[in-house]
Chains A and B, each alone.
Chain A
Amino acid sequence: SQQGEEDPQALSIQEGENATMNCSYKTSINNLQWYRQNSGRGLVHLILIRSNEREKHSGRLRVTLDTSKKSSSLLITASRAADTASYFCATGDDKIIFGKGTRLHILP
């Protein structure tokens, strides 16, 4: 199965700083998605980047995709307390596989 692996597993930063999370995957993809999950709740779709795109923005989120390295990164700029959550990448077309996530904690 294709699988994303997020790095780091956990990240704590001060409010206002930027947070960067990485995702690596194993096989070729058509798209890669990022999701956020607040504790124990359903995942929320953040952004989808297609294999022919290198960078995509949505508000304070910036996602990059490097298909040659089979990796993606999610950057959250000017972090806020409300950004505290787990972040997952997901790959696949029919069997969609999630990584184990990065737990982001924003310190006040």
Chain B
Amino acid sequence: EAQVTQNPRYLITVTGKKLTVTCSQNMNHEYMSWYRQDPGLGLRQIYYSMNVEVTDKGDVPEGYKVSRKEKRNFPLILESPSPNQTSLYFCASSLLTGTGSYGYTFGSGTRLTVV
């Protein structure tokens, strides 16, 4: 089944403890992206990647890192999480065409709480 898999689904952690949220897709998509969703603010893009070893900042990259060593994986790293990073996180992937995205496939989300 074509899908984007995020892990974990739920995570409670303490301030400053490094964590990684994994994202994997099995559709050979070039494009992958991370979003956070907060009430009243909608979805905001954190980082995106157009292909292996190519990553770029979205609108809210501060406090996050990503890597794209393989086409299928795009982990999100919080080196020193803070309470303001408590949020619902989504990974998404897409084929790319000459005129942009072909439509995202989203993961099921990771609900992160930083205390």
Contacts and interface: CB of A to CB of B under 8 A. Distances in A.
Contacts of B50: 94
Interface residues of B, number: 29
B109 A42 contact: yes
B41 interface: yes
Contact of A45 (B41, B59, B88, B105): B105
Contacts of B59: 1, 95, 97
Interface in B41-62: 41-43, 45, 48, 50, 56, 58-59
Contact of B42 (A30, A88, A96): A88
Contact of B88 (A33, A40, A50): A40
A34 B89 CA distance: 19
B40 to A, nearest CB: 8
A94 B42 contact: no
B106 to A, nearest CB: 4
B99 A31 contact: yes
A35 B99 CA distance: 19
Q: How large is the interface on A (under 10, 10 to 19, 20 to 34, 35 or more residues)?
A: 20 to 34
A100 B41 contact: yes
Contact of A96 (B4, B90, B104): B104
29 contacts: A30-B100, A31-B99, A33-B101, A35-B106, A40-B88, A41-B108, A42-B107, A42-B108, A43-B104, A43-B106, A44-B106, A45-B105, A48-B101, A51-B99, A90-B104, A92-B100, A92-B101, A93-B99, A93-B100, A94-B56, A95-B48, A95-B56, A95-B59, A96-B33, A96-B45, A97-B59, A99-B42, A100-B42, A101-B42
Given A41-B109, A93-B101, 7 more contacts: A31-B99, A35-B106, A42-B106, A42-B109, A94-B48, A98-B35, A99-B42
Interface of B: 4, 31, 33, 35, 40-43, 45, 48, 50, 56, 58-59, 88, 90, 92, 99-109, 111
